[in-house]
Chains A and B, each alone.
Chain A
């Protein structure tokens, strides 16, 4: 039996993982050098959440999917040109600073306010999705704080699977220590799910979905509310790249047996 859901996906934008990052100091605090011109992508774990959300919405006709994203408008527009071709969603953009250094409390407040202002949102059918950690701050805090601000008391983190049941309840698999999943059954929406990788492959680009999405994305970007994120007593003492550089021994002429012998000796050496 289908259960129409209202699914919100919170997703930030981050530098493409292949880019070299160099910290710098801006007037507002630490940042990444040239972050505004580095190629950006939708945060990887949040992207998994988006694909899982689209899959869930497709299986439950009547569901709606919103993507709530905070970042500079120009960067959001750039990333949406790609993401919008993969799954159908309605964008709720928030024009704000990029990067991992602003405090998560302020980010969560802006996201929760934007979610609360979505017209027609039914909180009894609400699932809030996102990545369990971002590729920038990497704290696993923002989504939890959004859930608290929205008064949602069932939260799951490191989610790899959700299975909706006929009665509206759902089973969730969360990553725990030792390569295991904790299995829980929740009575139903509302709930917060911070996703790990999930099980779905990245959807292929579909220009038709892209064109349909862009009709609403561009006006939404133009209307995006601008927010400033307060530091709230957070002070960075230092921000630096790891300096560890190893002196590497490159062995080109050892036989497999010699290498194996050396590795066994190394493994045995406490």
Chain B
């Protein structure tokens, strides 16, 4: 008989659960219902009461680790907290969000309690058994796998389940779990945003806008127009609220002494050596559609592209619409229209 523990953590406010955590609660509820398993939710937060209230109506036993030491994400304290929650719950299956906070520690926790782990899980299925779906080779090969080892930890990719929304009037009855902390040799001193005039990475944006290397190449007049390209892109981001991604070749140009868009960093990179973001829509511009680039778009819903090359890889079943046109001219008109929209 399986038993399920969903590990959750607070968001930046320290009082509410992160969106990924609420998604993991949904996954836990669904799996518990299918297996007829007992469900426990473990919370890690500076103050757990607000987070506990959010999931009080989930029909689960609530365990909480709270205190100043757990306000920030740190390996030693988070691993100790997760281990303590598991030891209190003794669950056979552990679900948790694949957040940077839990991705940093959960394999170590699984090792400490003699379990196995799979990360970047996108679906949990199986008929009588439990099966996890995840991608290999940077989203190029999809596999479904099962394990006999227990406890089995699974980190769920964000965006794969709907966030749990419970009744607001249910009073939580969480059990405080004590944690024996090791010596803290690491101190989190804060957060730092990349040196850029504005934040261009917006995980919750409806649109991912991808800028390819073509923006910094010679245009029909024989000149490069990097400044103009930068303005067009930033104006579009401001007008549309899109998140900015880029191809590796464009980011790398900065290190090779070529003209580069100053607001791009490796954090914007999508694809083989970048991120694989999830957004409902994606618009690619000046990209040449190689397989590594397509990899970065695996989890984009509706895809459109603007490219001068009618034979671009995008036109071969990867995008829904390809506009064969000069992106400079299209973006100029697009920004005018977005400006008028307000």
A186 touches B334 (CB 8 A): no
Given contacts A21-B140, A184-B188, contact A232 B292 (CB under 8 A): no
What is the interface residue range for chain A against chain B?
35 or more
A156 touches B75 (CB 8 A): yes
Residues of A within 8 A of B240 (CB): 267
B322 touches A248 (CB 8 A): yes
A175 touches B334 (CB 8 A): no
A160 CB within 8 Å of chain B: yes
B177 CB within 8 Å of chain A: no
A196 CB within 8 Å of chain B: yes
Min C-beta distance of B238 to chain A, whole Å: 14
Chain B residue with minimal CB distance to A101?
A: B136
- In A144-187, the 8 Å CB interface with B consists of 144-145, 147-149, 153-158, 160, 171, 173-187
A179, B193: Cα distance in complex, Å: 7
Contact with B along A11-48 (1 / 0, CB 8 A): 00011011011010000001010000000000011000
A249 touches B108 (CB 8 A): no
A21 touches B137 (CB 8 A): yes
Which stretch from B30-38, B145-153, B165-173 is at the chain A interface? Answer: B145-153
The one of B108, B201, B325, B337 in contact with A254, judged by C-beta atoms closer than 8 angstroms, is: B325
A135 touches B100 (CB 8 A): no
Chain B residue with minimal CB distance to A179?
A: B201
The one of B116, B302, B333 in contact with A233, judged by C-beta atoms closer than 8 angstroms, is: B116
Chain A residue with minimal CB distance to B317?
A: A245
A177, B76: Cα distance in complex, Å: 20
A222 CB within 8 Å of chain B: no
A55 CB within 8 Å of chain B: no
B100 touches A174 (CB 8 A): yes
Chain B residue with minimal CB distance to A196?
A: B266
A268, B319: Cα distance in complex, Å: 19
Say what secondary structure dominates the interface of chain B. mixed
A267, B206: Cα distance in complex, Å: 9
The one of B131, B185, B319, B323 in contact with A259, judged by C-beta atoms closer than 8 angstroms, is: B323
Residues of B within 8 A of A160 (CB): 266
B334 touches A260 (CB 8 A): yes
B112 touches A148 (CB 8 A): yes
What is the interface residue range for chain B against chain A?
35 or more
Given contacts A239-B141, A251-B324, contact A144 B147 (CB under 8 A): no
Given contacts A236-B145, A246-B303, contact A155 B104 (CB under 8 A): yes
B136 touches A251 (CB 8 A): no
The one of A174, A184, A201, A268 in contact with B187, judged by C-beta atoms closer than 8 angstroms, is: A184
Given contacts A147-B108, A154-B185, A233-B116, contact A248 B141 (CB under 8 A): no
Say what secondary structure dominates the interface of chain A. mixed
- In A190-208, the 8 Å CB interface with B consists of 196-197, 201
Min C-beta distance of B16 to chain A, whole Å: 15
- In A222-264, the 8 Å CB interface with B consists of 232-242, 245-252, 254, 256-257, 259-261, 263-264
A180 touches B144 (CB 8 A): no
- In B321-342, the 8 Å CB interface with A consists of 321-326, 329-330, 332-334, 336-338, 341
A181, B321: Cα distance in complex, Å: 35
A136, B141: Cα distance in complex, Å: 10
The one of A177, A183, A250, A254 in contact with B99, judged by C-beta atoms closer than 8 angstroms, is: A177
The one of B119, B192, B322 in contact with A141, judged by C-beta atoms closer than 8 angstroms, is: B119
B324 touches A242 (CB 8 A): no
A181, B191: Cα distance in complex, Å: 6
- In A82-118, the 8 Å CB interface with B consists of 100-101, 103-105
Residues of A within 8 A of B105 (CB): 144, 155
B217 CB within 8 Å of chain A: no
Given contacts A185-B186, A248-B317, A264-B337, contact A240 B119 (CB under 8 A): no
Residues of A within 8 A of B332 (CB): 256
- In A57-99, the 8 Å CB interface with B consists of none
Min C-beta distance of A180 to chain B, whole Å: 5
Min C-beta distance of B202 to chain A, whole Å: 8
A184 touches B74 (CB 8 A): yes
A105 touches B116 (CB 8 A): yes
B141 touches A241 (CB 8 A): yes
B185 touches A138 (CB 8 A): no
Residues of A within 8 A of B337 (CB): 260-261, 264
A259 touches B330 (CB 8 A): yes
A21 touches B200 (CB 8 A): no
Chain A residue with minimal CB distance to B141?
A: A23
Q: Which 9 A-B pairs have the closest CB atoms?
A: A179-B201, A233-B148, A260-B333, A256-B329, A144-B107, A201-B255, A197-B266, A187-B185, A237-B144
Interface CB pairs A-B, < 8 A, 21:
A17-B273, A105-B111, A139-B118, A144-B108, A148-B108, A158-B100, A178-B199, A179-B201, A181-B194, A182-B72, A183-B189, A234-B147, A235-B147, A239-B143, A241-B141, A242-B140, A246-B318, A249-B321, A251-B321, A251-B324, A259-B330
List chain B positions with a Cβ less than 8 A from chain A. Answer: 72-76, 99-101, 103-105, 107-108, 111-112, 116-120, 131, 135-149, 182, 185-194, 199-203, 206-207, 240, 255-256, 266-269, 272-273, 281, 283, 290-292, 298, 302-304, 306, 310, 314-326, 329-330, 332-334, 336-338, 341
Given A101-B143, A140-B119, A182-B191, 17 more A-B residue pairs with CB atoms under 8 Å apart are A14-B137, A17-B138, A30-B143, A44-B272, A141-B107, A144-B108, A145-B107, A145-B108, A156-B104, A173-B192, A174-B100, A178-B199, A182-B72, A233-B149, A237-B144, A245-B317, A248-B315
